[in-house]
Amino acid sequence: MERVDISLLGRDYSLACPPSEKARLLEAVKLVDQRMQAIKGSGRVSGNERIAVMAAIQIASEFLSAKAPDGPLANVAFGDFKRKIEDMHAMMDDVIEPSGTSR
């Protein structure tokens, strides 16, 4: 593991990550810091913790609505895909263990 010093919204942090993942980590830090700076600059949210939570929610929402670049699932957002898998698991659970019966 390698120690990586970063800064988010003017506060310094030390993180540990494998050397092979350092570039991706720094890219993620840059994205999070940019998002936090934008939220702070809007003046609608105050307090670093609230700003961090809002940034996390925005990034998670974008991730869940992102779509695969190509292939058979290119028109399905990750969040929709995850929900479909969860629905299929629930259906299989109902078939394998019908309600009201026990093993």
At residue 80, the pLDDT reads 78
Structure tokens of 46?
């105050």
At 12, phi and psi to the nearest 5? -90, 140
In this predicted structure, the answer to whether residue 77 has a pLDDT above a threshold of 70 is: yes
Contact 13, 6 (CB under 8 A): yes
Nearest to 50 by CA among 70, 62, 63, 36: 36
What is the mean predicted confidence (pLDDT) over 5-20? Answer: 95
pLDDT of residue 42: 94
pTM of the entire structure? Answer: 0.66
| Amino acid making up residue 88 | M
Query: Is the pLDDT reported for residue 99 higher than 60?
Result: no
